[in-house]
Chains A and B, each alone.
Chain A
């Protein structure tokens, strides 16, 4: 009976492998998480470069004046940098989409079983927050009598709306890390486009650097798990 019960055990094993594959193939097998880590690293570097350029241009002396300069400086970033930060969610998503095409071409796409109530609630909260942010930014000039350039106004609405749409479109293919990368880039991108931040953008460097390390580490771990499951699946097939 030991050998006759093997098919049933094989079925359990195959189901377990499929569930694990569905989980670790998210974020394009972790490569999109790695890509997110690299993007945060690049944005950190760019933030330091831009902030230092402001600092040198304005000829601020060191010590307290320098600290004050970085904390309260509110000269808007040049449009090109605002645009880059504003487009950063889209840049990440395009990378994710391209790598997804590759990873799906390797072993195919498996969508994990229907999400539980917690997951559905989490999605509703994330989308609700982006919706409220978009609405607030649309009403902000009216509520507070703030004058905004037309592109900053519309850009400030477009970035969170686009980020929300991308999240909804690929929610099931993104892991917790992928969703948070998209969310953080969307929120900071919105701030840059709508509010315009100058030298104080250097304050973003520490959290961006931490996120970068976290995403690089988790992306590598997910990719390693993915490779492990694929090898097991190949062995299963060969057996």
Chain B
């Protein structure tokens, strides 16, 4: 594949998913029904502020939903991937596989 032929598929990538932290978040969420904030924080290595910011962007894009609950007396936030988020992630993976021949 010539580099100029590869450009259109790359430029078409969903930027909301392509960012590494958001990609990791969606990848984790796609493997479970519900994931707590702390788990995502430990896996991504992001601080609370950055993780919240990325989650808000994904939520605004309709890719995840937030679930508020309590762990004892401590508020615990969890996330769920939406159907739109799942198909966006799937489309992104297929495009990456096609591009890199993975």
Interface residues of chain A, those whose CB is within 8 Å of chain B, are 1, 4-5, 7-9, 11, 14-16, 18-19, 21-22, 101, 104-105, 107-114, 172, 233, 236-237
Contact = CB atoms under 8 A, between A and B. Distances in A.
Interface residues of B, number: 30
Nearest to B71: A104
Given A11-B27, A233-B43, A107 B38 contact: yes
A18 B102 contact: no
Nearest to A100: B71
Interface of B is mostly: helix
A236 B43 contact: yes
A112 B93 contact: no
Interface in B74-102: 76, 78, 93, 96-97, 100-102
Nearest to B26: A11
Contacts of A109: 34-36, 38-39, 71, 76, 78
B101 A110 contact: no
Nearest to A3: B100
Nearest to A15: B31
B102 A108 contact: no
Nearest to B27: A11
Given A14-B27, A14-B28, A108 B45 contact: no
11 contacts: A4-B102, A8-B96, A14-B27, A18-B28, A22-B32, A101-B71, A101-B72, A109-B78, A110-B32, A113-B33, A233-B43
Contacts of B43: 14, 18, 233, 236-237
B66 to A, nearest CB: 14
B55 interface: no
A11 B44 CA distance: 12
B3 to A, nearest CB: 13
Contacts of B42: 107-108, 233, 237
B76 A11 contact: no
A21 B36 CA distance: 12
B100 A4 contact: yes
